[in-house]
Amino acid sequence: MAGIYIHIPFCKQACHYCNFYFSTSLGNKEKFVQALLKEIELSKDYLEGEKIETIYFGGGTPSLLSKNEIEAIVEKLAAYHDLSSLKEFTFETNPDDLSKERIKEFEALKPLGLNRFSIGVQSFFDEDLKYMNRAHNAEEALSSIKRVQDAGFDKITIDLIYGTPTMNDENWLKNLQTTFELNIPHISSYALTVEAKTTLDNRIKKGQSLPVNEEQAARQFKILQHEMKKAGYEQYEISNFAKPGKYAVHNSNYWSGKKYLGLGPSAHSYNGAARRWNVANNVSYIQAIGMGTIPFEEEILTAAQIVNEKIMTSIRTQWGLRISDFEFRIEELILGSLKTIDPSHYILEEDVLTLTDEGKLFADAIAATLFI
């Protein structure tokens, strides 16, 4: 089984914190869609006949596509890939794109397999949304979720961001309580991160935006863990929480090392032996595809890189890292490195390594210590 990710590189406006590739100009959208359809054809052999288990439209803002454009993309996928085992078809969208009329169009896409929405809420407070330069407001965040639920879509995940300078602990608790009251089955939650060369980075350097406080972010992460557990959610990956059995199949497949094909500018692909990534430029992408070539760079993974990626992704999940999966020499190296890590940060039971709640704050550093 494998997955397909489709990157739609357009947004109405730029969120200040975002470092994904996108364009706020829709001038090339029709040309992009035609190029994407051609890339599906050009990449038809990449997954070597694997059945497709998941489709994920991400971005950018996929909800800027028309119903006809979405249908054309899925129909082209079906022409070159076996979708008979499709379990999960996720569509990312912003609250301001989920009007009653638009949701009716999404309902018409159910026969194509669409069964899950990822809604970029980020916060239910306007001051946070303004700080991040989101296109929607708090009321739209609430009403859009209710409209999606009323349309019969029960597989919903929302994104929430903590550590925003405008968000105190009381409002963060209210954000979580609102989520619970809406009966959202899955939540992805991330600390606000200031990425280099983003608008937020520039605004903070110029004194135009408040800086991010790492202590606040760590504290609100602990609040997140506590409240989610109390509400019956499982922290099945460091940034992902779900009611039992409501895990994201697509993302879980990333963490378990399954193959996936990425389509569109800046999209990444993985076939078990190598990773490749498309050029992050709409014009270059469209021109190359027009000449019958997929514009990508590729990295053939070494044995050490494959081991390290397994370490990094596995310890982030509730299922952890089974050390005995490796050959004895590597197992000994990992166990040796483990002795240098604070024992309050991990649990080692029957050769499975998992992180404690406290250890999850230091997951990246722990992974780096364990790398061979």
Contact by Cβ (8 Å): 263, 39:
yes
pLDDT digits (tens, 9 = 90+) for 152-175: 999 999 999 999 999 999 999 999
Closest by CA position to 149, among listed 124, 126, 181: 181
Mean pLDDT, rounded, of the chain: 95
CA contacts within 13 A on the Cβ side of 158 = 24
Rounded to an integer, the average pLDDT of 310-331 is 95
CA–CA separation, 307 and 75 (whole Å) = 37
CA contacts within 13 A on the Cβ side of 204 = 19
**Residue 1 β-bridge partners:** none
Contact by Cβ (8 Å): 142, 150:
no
Cβ within 8 Å of residue 17, ≥6 positions away: 132, 161, 192, 193, 194, 195, 198, 199, 200
In one-letter notation, the amino acid at residue 344 is S
Could you give all domains of the chain from N- to C-terminal order, each with its CATH number? 2-255 (3.80.30.20), 303-370 (1.10.10.920)
**Residue 270 pLDDT more than 90?**
yes
Contact by Cβ (8 Å): 4, 54:
yes
Choose the weakest-confidence range: 61-75, 199-213, 353-367.
199-213
**Residue 14 pLDDT more than 80?**
no
CA–CA separation, 267 and 278 (whole Å) = 5
Read off φ and ψ for residue 2, nearest 5 degrees.
-145, 175
CA–CA separation, 170 and 153 (whole Å) = 30
pTM of the model: 0.94
Read off φ and ψ for residue 210, nearest 5 degrees.
-65, 145
Burial 351-372 (b: 16+ CB within 10 A, else e): eebbbeeebbbbbeebbeebee
Q: What's residue 199's pLDDT?
A: 86
3 state DSSP class of 81: coil
pLDDT digits (tens, 9 = 90+) for 278-314: 999 999 999 999 999 999 999 999 999 999 999 999 9
Give CA torsion, residues 76, 82, 88, 94, to 10 deg. Answer: -10
pLDDT digits (tens, 9 = 90+) for 218-236: 999 999 999 999 999 999 9
Rounded to an integer, the average pLDDT of 184-212 is 90
pLDDT digits (tens, 9 = 90+) for 35-46: 999 999 999 999
**Residue 15 pLDDT more than 90?**
no
Rounded to an integer, the average pLDDT of 233-244 is 98
Q: Are strands 346-349 and 352-355 parallel, antiparallel or unpaired?
A: antiparallel
CA–CA separation, 196 and 288 (whole Å) = 28
